[in-house]
Structure 1
């Protein structure tokens, strides 16, 4: 009987699993139109050279090294090389501001910086122009007159690899692995201190509970930012299973990359699944005759599906036909081999869970935070053990309790050490009993399925004294194929209202069917017939919402909330205070 390889620190994945499988494509990315693949032996060799090269640069245990890059194998080479020395990676979003970079470099006392491109090099240079202690900025792309990351590798080529043994041996599971600065919706970012044990416990819990069911024959496509702990922990899970990791070229090429790679799994956020669904529905509207009737018959069938229950002979027979005629094309669009899609970072609309499962595409919705490494709970897919609308069962080894005010509190090996340089914030987040306060409101359904109802700080009170959980209402509004985004407002007002962004492709199709001239988004939202149609949709969706939570008025906006526009965090959460301030006049207009 084989014994489980040793795995107590994250870099133990390399000798224990990456070397064990030694696949020809442990990591892969597109270079000049071709997939460049790295075998297990190559990955380990490069990582060791990075560690040795960093040693020559004077990097030692607990030194902080920043990585600002798109997803690519070089990210992993540098990050694993840092780990083996007991140094600490400080991954950062490419999309944040120069001011944020300057703050994080200073707060973390960063020593070296690795960036992917000339644009990020320029941002890093601007951010560090007035700082002391930065010893070098290296690029992954070839940039004239810039230090290239390969120089680190070359400087480690002739070093004795045996000297790494003492450095690796000095790293304990409780040592700091990474500092991840949470973007937050307000205020300065906080550095979340995660240890090797935090993340290893998460990986082991995921494997033990079989939330993922992968093997060394599988491939995963990665496109969510590696600087976020959600995608990063998933990458370690893939390595643990021996699955190959292919990095999408960009967010714009995901559809093409899915068809090329044919992955068994990928992780995503609900916003992207909503976009996929909206595109599918928009194409359905373009069909005519019998094809269009079949499409919407299958879609409506899927929206009623319960993955964990027997739907009966007649429904199952229809679903079998729908999968063959319609849903098989959905599977093909995702590469044809999908075993599982992991969804996290925000609430997934129940209708999306139902319809993707009906299409033979299992979705495992999970829940967690950066501070919990990140997984607290997830939906099991083999066999299905979850409840639609919930975020699954609690990870082994993790404890969850619901406080009197409904807040979800967590204790376990996955909970962070604290916030870097912020003892007061740490004491506020983790109480004397060791419970981390998530700031989320939730409940247990049927005694074991966790359900998130809202963010504690996002709940607002109407002038009638009723508390409104905006996320629930927003997700309900987005069930309309004509509504892409929504933010519910109404603090201190008589009733909730909403700012809505239409799904303009679907709206254009609706206008065409109804003989309404469509010129531009900014013009069409002024059309009275369009307003009446959206009003009809809102009223229909509000029928099953408590009366005091129902949206009574709305205003339409001509363009979506975006990261670049400052309305969304890098993890696509609404920056409510910024949106409230930006649209203050429009919001007040709804209460005149």
Structure 2
């Protein structure tokens, strides 16, 4: 048995077991970093200044055990659901580990979820206790108390000066809960150890509700073994190194963010945690991470920002950037082709020289922006445009695309660190099986697969076969080397009125690769005689462009609706169409006056576009693009 197999087959029953083992093995080693306000009395303090503070595994254990014992003291039982509505921060991790170490199960709730849906999730899950981040989240929950008769306790992380009273609900601070836990541990010092020892691997650990692009979200039942498997598989795959520093900003209420905490505990990797998206570019040089995961939209925004900055500098600098971008892509494609065909990295001398020059002029600055030590980035939750991947690969920022779903506790496949292939989502994680159904649908089987949808046996039966194969709803291919390629969502593919099938993700990805101004694009065409598109623009990229194209003083919405922008985007659409089959081409498009966002319900918290929502909202605009249309 090799070491990878041994890790998988000998995994512990839960991440709670892993956590206690990690604390015992390396108590004084750094576990987490998190930002705190700089002491206002410090000599070099400025308003809003922050510093990163470290927490050892021993210190983390003290707080986790206090949370776990505190939950026991208020009557939380094994497998009982405890809701957690909070942004990505150190307290989310401590609370989640506390819930697991108490033998209970976390119900993950996005803090951006509205009050009605929050109440639905808490009621459907049967959550009797809830952690909330602040007064706003507290008000959201207490305002729905009439719909939550089982809710008995609410724990507030950033508590207001005066806690509100609510009939039938005890509201307490996180500090209060931890103090109760410390008292409980004085009387029962081995309470947490016994609770962890009693955890069965098939015991419910987490309920994560799907995004709900249509109808109510479904609760995905993930047992302790799902997370223990993810931890072992991440380490066995070689994704993590013992000395890694992981920068974690993804939503921890999402399966992608949540699973990243498991592997780190297995190997003792440092996690620097801060979920504020607007702080990413500030945090990277501070943290200097070696490892980071993100959704493709982040890499697209970084690329668009680099391109926009070069364009604004104009002249020779912009031409140098365009040349360097081309060299990066050619170098990465040549290297990948060489590795696939010969197993070695062979690059022509001329291209090697160009790459070395471009590295000094451009690529080194890009790597510095990522902190200067980035070994690998993981991209997931949506497709990464290959041209974006080739650009960063050529610049020395290696983006390893992976694949998984909420129903598979995230990771199912990932690109190997050395021989990754852009345009694929890699090979199956150790212990996971992949096969392609007759209709092209990707099926997955392994320990990470959910045990079903909560309270929805009929829905479970639709996607989960009795022998463990899970129907993903994604269409893809499996090559001879075991690499998986996703071609589209089964439900997103559509047929034109002329009978031609179109995979919208493919077309949308190609457009994002060539247009540095795009933020989101939605291809339309189901049952229509041609394809059209709704397009939104990246404000940080298009506004500097507007200043040099007779649009000075115009706001973002005015810029988006201007003839100049329509002409600009039309040029990129024509360029795209030149590389597409006739039935895939975009005949008409509309630039929307604002970007899609989570607040309007158009994006999921992991930044996936909710197609039905957008199509309903802009139904009239879509219809206008087909008025008077002839067969194309």
TM range (shorter): over 0.9
8 A Cα contact 2:329 2:390, kept in partner: yes
2:405 is the alignment partner of 1:369? yes
Indicate yes or no: 2:14 matched with 1:9.
yes
The whole-number CA distance in structure 1 between the counterparts of 2:11 and 2:617 is: 53
Q: Which region of structure 1 is more displaced relative to structure 2, 524-533 or 341-350? A: 524-533
Structure 2: distance between partners of 1:24 and 1:207:
19
Whether the 8 Å contact between 1:249 and 1:257 is mirrored in structure 2 is: no
Deviations 1:363-420 (A, max 9, x none): 1110000100111110111x2x232111001111111111111111111111100001
Secondary structure, counterpart of 1:8 in structure 2:
coil
Stretch of structure 1 that moved more, 194-203 or 30-39: 30-39
Does 1:327 find its partner at 2:363?
yes
Q: Name the SS for the 1:26 alignment partner.
A: strand
Deviates more, 1:154-163 or 1:404-413: 154-163
- Offset of 1:532 from its aligned partner? 2.7
Q: How do 1:33-432 residues align onto structure 2 when only pairs under 5 Å count?
A: 33-146=50-163, 147-157=172-182, 158-210=186-238, 212-215=239-242, 217-248=243-274, 250-304=276-330, 305-306=332-333, 307-308=335-336, 309=338, 310-381=346-417, 383=418, 385-432=419-466
Cα deviations across residues 158-195 of structure 1 (Å, max 9, x unaligned)?
23222333322221111111111111211101110001
Superposition deviation, residue 314 in structure 1: 1.4
Say which is worse superposed, 464-473 or 241-250, in terms of deviation.
241-250
Q: Partners of 2:549 and 2:36 in 1: how far apart?
A: 47
For the Cα contact (< 8 Å) 1:569–1:575, is it kept in 2? yes
Q: Does residue 565 of structure 1 match 2:563?
A: no
Whole-angstrom distance in 1 between the partners of 2:78 and 2:548: 65
1:518 Cα shift? 6.5
* Corresponding residue number in structure 2 for 1:465: 499
Confirm or deny: 8 A CA contact 1:7 1:16 kept in the other structure: no
The separation in 1 between residues aligned to 2:206 and 2:400, in whole angstroms, is: 26
Question: Could you say which residue in structure 2 is the equivalent of 1:552?
Answer: 587
The 2-side partners of 1:485 and 1:63 are apart by: 40
Is 2:549–2:564's contact at 8 Å kept on the other side of the alignment?
A: no
Question: What is the alpha-carbon distance in structure 2 between the residues aligned to residue 6 and residue 526 of structure 1?
Answer: 56
- Structure 2 distance, partners of 1:163, 1:226, is 27
Deviations 1:566-587 (A, max 9, x none): 1111111111111111111111
C-alpha separation in 2, matches of 1:162 and 1:271:
46
Aligned mates of 1:446, 1:536 — CA distance in 2: 39
Partner of 1:30, secondary structure, is strand
- Taking the aligned partners of 2:560 and 2:68, their CA distance within structure 1 comes to 56
- CA displacement at 1:213 relative to structure 2: 3.4
SS at 2:491's partner residue? coil
CA distance in 2, matches of 1:512, 1:130: 52
Distance 1:130 1:373 in 2: 29
TM-score with structure 2 setting the length: 0.89
**Secondary structure in 2 matching 1:311:** coil
Q: Is 2:493–2:504's contact at 8 Å kept on the other side of the alignment?
A: yes
> What are the Cα deviations for residues 34-88 of structure 1, in whole angstroms up to 9, with x where unaligned?
3232211111122112222211111111111001111222222221121122211
Relative to structure 1, is the Cα distance of residues 391 and 489 closer, same or farther in structure 2, using a 3 angstrom cutoff?
same
**Aligned-pair CA distance for 1:207:** 1.4
Aligned partners of 1:224, 1:238: CA distance in 2, in Å? 15
Residue by residue over 1:207-246, the C-alpha shift from the partner in whole angstroms, topping out at 9 and shown as x without a partner, is 1121x1322x331111101111111111111222212111
Farther off after superposition, 46-55 or 250-259: 46-55
C-alpha RMSD of the superposition:
1.9
Residues 85 and 171 of structure 1 are in contact (CA less than 8 Å); yes or no, is this contact kept in structure 2? no
Measure, in 1, the Cα distance between the counterparts of 2:230 and 2:292: 18
How far off its partner does 1:464 sit?
0.7
Counterparts in 2 of 1:249 and 1:468: CA distance versus 1, 3 Å: closer
Indicate whether 1:575 and 2:610 are aligned.
yes
User: Matched residue of 2:35: which SS?
Assistant: strand
- Of 21, 24, 33, the residue aligned with 1:19 is 24
- Give secondary structure in 2 for the equivalent of 1:552: strand
Residue 101 of structure 1 and its aligned partner are, at CA, apart by 0.9
1:585 alignment partner, one of 593, 611, 620: 620
Moved more, 83-92 or 307-316: 307-316
Structure 2 alignment gaps of length 5 or more: 38-49, 164-171, 339-345, 628-632
Find the aligned partners of 2:476 and 2:322 in 1 and give their Cα distance.
Answer: 34
Aligned equivalents of 1:82, 1:505: Cα separation in 2: 41
Q: 1:30 maps to what in 2?
A: 35
List alignment gaps of at least 5 residues for structure 1.
Answer: none
- Please state whether the residue corresponding to 2:22 is helix, strand or coil: helix
1:255 shift after superposition: 0.9
Residues 95-124 of structure 1: CA distance to partner in whole angstroms, max 9, x if unpaired? Answer: 011111111111111111101111111111
C-alpha distance in 2 between matches for 1:424 and 1:187: 15
Structure 1 residue runs of 4+, over 4 Å off?
Answer: 2-6, 508-518
2:41 matched to which residue of 1? none
Find the residue that maps to 1:161 and give its secondary structure. coil
Residue 517 of structure 1: how far off its partner (Å): 5.5
> Is 1:532 equivalent to 2:567 in the alignment?
yes
Q: By how many angstroms is 1:447 displaced?
A: 4.1
**In structure 2, what is the Cα distance between the partners aligned to 1:85 and 1:457?**
40
Question: Equivalents in 2 of 1:347, 1:236: separation in Å?
Answer: 24
Quickly say closer, same or farther: Cα 1:6–1:568, change in 2 above 3 A. Answer: closer
Instruction: Describe how 1:468-487 pairs up with structure 2 within 5 A.
Output: 468-479=502-513, 480-487=515-522
CA distance in 2: counterparts of 1:388 and 1:534, whole angstroms: 26
Deviations 1:136-165 (A, max 9, x none): 111111322331011121112123222333
